[in-house]
Structure 1
Amino acid sequence: MSRSQTLRQNTINQFIDCINNNILSFPLPSISILAEAFNVSRTTIRAVLNYLCQIGILLFDNNQYHLAREPTQKDKIACIFEKRSIQDKKVETYFYHLINSKKLLPGDHFNEIQLAKEINVSPIVVREFLLRFLHYGLIDNVKKGEWELATFDKNYAEKLYEFRSVLEIFALKAFLAQSDNHINWIKARELLQRHKNLQQNIQDEYKLFSTLDRDFHELILSCKENRFFLQSFDLISVIFHFHYQWDSSDLKERNSIAVSEHIAILTAILQKNEPLAIAALCRHLNTAKRSMQESIGRALAIKNR
């Protein structure tokens, strides 16, 4: 199968998904606008529209494309997308990459159809991923298929800190209550050593901390085997790192402090000293909150100049 044919079939399937999920409005906008939205050529869009007219989904009348009937899954061409779990992971990885590489910043607009084309996944996978963040105020739905990365104030950081504290302190207590032969104790020792290794090379490798930070908090939350814990942490982690990207001038210092705080928490955990571990965790979460608030303050100051 040629590359152009593969692209055309993917776009047909994406178009059908968008119709079924009310992402597109009728009559359809111009071919140029559709080509830009789907990130394909106008030639490809014309071929897609012609095909959908041929099978009776669209009707071309008075120089406009109208919806003739609701499409079904049988209308889709043999799907060439990867299985859903792989698509979910690709969307997550790509979205986080856009944030961490500063290709998406607070206030930026982006289109879910374009994202789907860039990642080569179904638009529905992208939409369902984005809806997770909508409930936490990380993104805003500007219009059908169009999104904006939200901007936050310091009060948002305070509320997020309160929720994160309740979540992680509860998980930490559950972690300490695990049996002595649980594999998480081995993971905690290995994670402590990784932190010590990074601490020795923090001047040169401080940017590696984000991965270590994710592993640290995931380990604590994983003990409950509660999908809601991990989903909540996923969103919180993105929000915190999202704001740190606004100003990287003190990133090395922040990460150095965070590594030391993680080491203190892990050491107390391995000693099974609950009061000490909780106190160390609270200090760490408070530091993260303060850093986020300072980052927000600097960003707002620059914006208001």
Structure 2
Amino acid sequence: MHTAASHTAALGDAPVHRSRADEVYEQLKRDVSEFKLVPGDRFTETEISERLGVSRTPVRQALFRLQHEGFVEVLFRSGWRVLPFDFDQFEELYDLRMVLETTAAHRLCEDALKVNPAVLDELVAIWLVSPEQRSNDTVQVAQWDEAFHCALVTAAGNAEMARVHRDVTERIRVIRRLDFTKQPRIDATYEEHAKILKAIQRKRGDQAALLLRSHIQTSQAEVRKITLHQVHLARQTGGGTG
């Protein structure tokens, strides 16, 4: 878990080719995704500047960027506010994710020569394991889950598809962390990922695509159940993913 001190240190250690505004932007986006800032929270540029140990100029630049992406809004004479989740937009992003991932599944099965076997081997090593070997760490499983879906699209060999998918992944990360926090959801993720991988190994594109569609739809249904109360609870408990 990051701390305010480690975040500030990270800003100070930023590579020279990255602007301070970029670092502030990424930090604030992490704060939203990790529920250090939740929908409805209000803050000022000065508060952010002091917390991160930077001037107000990069903070303002980062906030305008986040405003453009729909994460925050500026309040007249009273700072900034984290916007409520736009669930209609999340629905659209999940639909786009489904198109990209099912297309990738077909490509992985139809054009084996373009697939890097090492990518699939790494996924198999994580997901095709016995129940006793499964991780119960929700944060770890969340990271692995996101990496699983990104790896499938990347492995399909279309750089533009992978770029769009990464963008979608980043935009749904904040809500995806609330997808599941309980053991049954972790178990289901292991089982569903294993079935998807086995279908791809057997070059069964239609089956792999159907399994992916069902898997994503289940996650999408869980997102629909999320309430603001759960978001506030996540500030104390941390989130999961799907």
| Structure 2 length-normalised TM | 0.68
Question: CA-to-partner distance for each residue in 1:168-192, whole Å, 9 max, x for gaps?
Answer: 2233334444442642x31122112
Match of 1:229 in 2: 165
Task: Describe the shift of the 1:82–1:159 C-alpha distance in structure 2 as closer, same or farther (beyond 3 A).
Answer: closer
Q: 1:89 & 1:255 partners in 2: Cα distance?
A: 33
Instruction: Note if contact 1:90-1:119 (Cα within 8 Å) is conserved in structure 2.
Output: no
Show the 5 A alignment for 1:236-275.
236-241=172-177, 243-244=178-179, 250-275=181-206
Instruction: Note if contact 1:133-1:235 (Cα within 8 Å) is conserved in structure 2.
Output: no
Match of 1:288 in 2: 219
Q: 2:152 & 2:50 partners in 1: Cα distance?
A: 36
Question: CA-to-partner distance for each residue in 1:49-71, whole Å, 9 max, x for gaps?
Answer: xxxxxxxxxxxxxxxxxxxxxxx
Question: Which amino acid is 2:214 matched to?
Answer: R
For 2:37, what is the secondary structure of its paired residue?
coil
Q: 1:204 & 1:283 partners in 2: Cα distance?
A: 23
For the pair shown, the structure with the greater C-alpha radius of gyration is 1
Match of 1:207 in 2: 139
- The answer to whether the aligner puts 1:220 opposite 2:158 as a matched pair is no
Question: Which amino acid is 1:209 matched to?
Answer: V
Q: CA deviation at 1:81?
A: 6.7
For 1:85, what is the secondary structure of its paired residue?
coil
Instruction: Note if contact 1:108-1:148 (Cα within 8 Å) is conserved in structure 2.
Output: yes
Q: 1:189 aligns with which of 115, 121, 130?
A: 121
Match of 1:10 in 2: none
Match of 2:36 in 1: 103
Structure 1: tracts of 5 or more residues without a match:
1-79
Q: 1:200 & 1:112 partners in 2: Cα distance?
A: 48
For 2:81, what is the secondary structure of its paired residue?
strand
Q: CA deviation at 1:163?
A: 2.5
Q: CA deviation at 1:289?
A: 0.6
Instruction: Note if contact 1:139-1:148 (Cα within 8 Å) is conserved in structure 2.
Output: yes
Q: 1:104 & 1:198 partners in 2: Cα distance?
A: 37
Q: Which has the higher contact order (CA 8 A, sep 6+)?
A: 2
Instruction: Note if contact 2:22-2:62 (Cα within 8 Å) is conserved in structure 1.
Output: no
Question: CA-to-partner distance for each residue in 1:132-161, whole Å, 9 max, x for gaps?
Answer: 654554433445894433323654543333
Task: Describe the shift of the 1:131–1:221 C-alpha distance in structure 2 as closer, same or farther (beyond 3 A).
Answer: farther
Task: Describe the shift of the 1:111–1:101 C-alpha distance in structure 2 as closer, same or farther (beyond 3 A).
Answer: same
For 1:166, what is the secondary structure of its paired residue?
helix
Q: 1:165 aligns with which of 95, 98, 102?
A: 98
Question: Which amino acid is 2:166 matched to?
Answer: L
Percent of residue pairs bearing the same amino acid type: 22
Q: CA deviation at 1:278?
A: 0.4
Q: CA deviation at 1:275?
A: 0.4
| Structure 1 length-normalised TM | 0.56
Structure 2: tracts of 5 or more residues without a match:
1-12, 234-242
Match of 2:72 in 1: 139
Task: Describe the shift of the 1:142–1:228 C-alpha distance in structure 2 as closer, same or farther (beyond 3 A).
Answer: farther
Q: 1:176 & 1:131 partners in 2: Cα distance?
A: 43
Q: CA deviation at 1:292?
A: 0.8
Q: CA deviation at 1:217?
A: 1.8
For this pair of structures, how many residues does the alignment match?
A: 217
Question: Which amino acid is 2:149 matched to?
Answer: H
For 1:295, what is the secondary structure of its paired residue?
coil
CA RMSD of aligned residues (A): 3.8
